[in-house]
Chain A
Amino acid sequence: NAGVMQNPRHLVRRRGQEARLRCSPMKGHSHVYWYRQLPEEGLKFMVYLQKENIIDESGMPKERFSAEFPKEGPSILRIQQVVRGDSAAYFCASSPGQEETQYFGPGTRLLVL
C-alpha cells in the first residue's frame, strides 16, 4: 500500500506566480489535511477536506489560498500571487476517517524568489 504522495517535492516560483501543490492520499483514505511548516517551526494546520467538501478551513489565510479534494483525482492546494512569506514546506496527511491516525506525505518545499 503506497503511502501519501505529494508532488512536486520542490517548487520554485517568482513573486506573483501561482503555486499548485498536489496530494494523493493513501488508498482507502477519504480524509485529507494540509499543514504548513515555516522554517524552524512546527507544523500549523491549514485545512481539512473530505471528498468534494471542505470540513474545516480555520487555518487557511483568507486571501490567495484555496484547497479542493475532487471526487476523482488528488487534493490540490492552490496559492495565487505568491509572496516570499509563502516559502515553506507544505505537508499533506490522510486518514481513513474521523479520529483516525493521520499519515503524512513527504511534503512540498515551496521557495518564492
Chain B
Amino acid sequence: GDSVTQMEGPVTLSEEAFLTINCTYTATGYPSLFWYVQYPGEGLQLLLKATKADDKGSNKGFEATYRKETTSFHLEKGSVQVSDSAVYFCALSESRDDKIIFGKGTRLHILP
C-alpha cells in the first residue's frame, strides 16, 4: 500500500541555520503531496502542497519540490527561526480516495 517515510527526529538546529527534512513516498498512482505542521497542543496546519511532478510548494519561507523520479518531497528552509519549532508531517493523498497518509513526523527544535 501507499506509505510515507520521513527522517526521524528530533532535529535540533540553531537559529538562522539551513533546514532539510527528508521525505520519500511509495504510491501506486499519482498522489498529491503535503507538508503539515503541528505546534504544541494544536491541530495540524497545512504548510504547503504540490499536486504534480516538478511542482514546487512554498509558504512562510519553506519549500518542497515534487520529485517523481526519486519519489521525494524534501522540506527546506534557508534560515529557520525559534518560532519554527514544531512537528512536521509529510503526507500524500491519492486522487482515487481522499484519505491522507501521513509519515510519523519529525520534531524540530530551534535554539536561539
* Closest chain B residue to A58, Cβ basis: B99
Complex contact A99–B95 (CB within 8 A): yes
Complex contacts, B104 vs chain A, CB 8 Å? 40-42
Task: Kindly count the residue-residue contacts between A and B in the assembled complex, taking CB atoms under 8 Å apart.
Answer: 58
Assembled-state Cα–Cα distance A107/B40 (Å): 12
CB of B43 within 8 A of CB of A56, answer no
A60-104 vs B, Cβ < 8 Å mask (1 yes, 0 no): 000000000000000000000000000000010101001101111
Determine if B43 and A91 form an interchain contact, defined as CB atoms under 8 angstroms apart.
yes
- State which of A33, A41, A91, A107 has its C-beta within 8 Å of the C-beta of B99: A33
Given contacts A95-B98, A98-B98, A101-B49, contact A42 B103 (CB under 8 A): yes
Q: How many of A's residues come within 8 Å of B, CB to CB?
A: 28
Q: How far is the CB of A96 from chain B (nearest CB, A)?
A: 12
The residue that B43 contacts in the complex, of A40, A48, A106, with Cβ under 8 A, is: A106
Report whether B45 and A42 are in contact in the complex, using a CB–CB cutoff of 8 Å: no
Shortest beta-carbon distance, A47 to chain B, in Å? 9
A104 partner, pick from B45, B101, B103, beta carbons under 8 A: B45
Question: A43 an interface residue at 8 Å Cβ cutoff?
Answer: yes
Q: Indicate if B46 sits at the interface (CB-CB under 8 A).
A: yes
Whether the pair A43, B99 counts as a contact (CB closer than 8 A) is no
Can you sample 18 A-B contacts with CB below 8 Å? A4-B43, A6-B43, A33-B99, A40-B104, A41-B105, A42-B103, A42-B104, A43-B44, A43-B89, A43-B102, A45-B100, A48-B99, A55-B98, A91-B44, A99-B95, A103-B46, A104-B45, A106-B43
By Cβ-Cβ distance, the 3 closest A-B pairs, closest first, are A42-B102, A45-B99, A104-B44
Residues of A within 8 A of B (CB): 4, 6, 31, 33, 35, 40-45, 48, 55-56, 58-59, 91, 93, 95, 98-99, 101-107
B contact residues vs A (CB 8 Å cutoff): 4, 36, 42-46, 49, 89, 91, 93, 95, 97-105
Excluding A58-B99, A104-B45, 9 further A-B contacts by CB distance (< 8 Å) are A33-B99, A42-B89, A42-B103, A43-B44, A45-B100, A48-B98, A56-B99, A93-B100, A95-B98
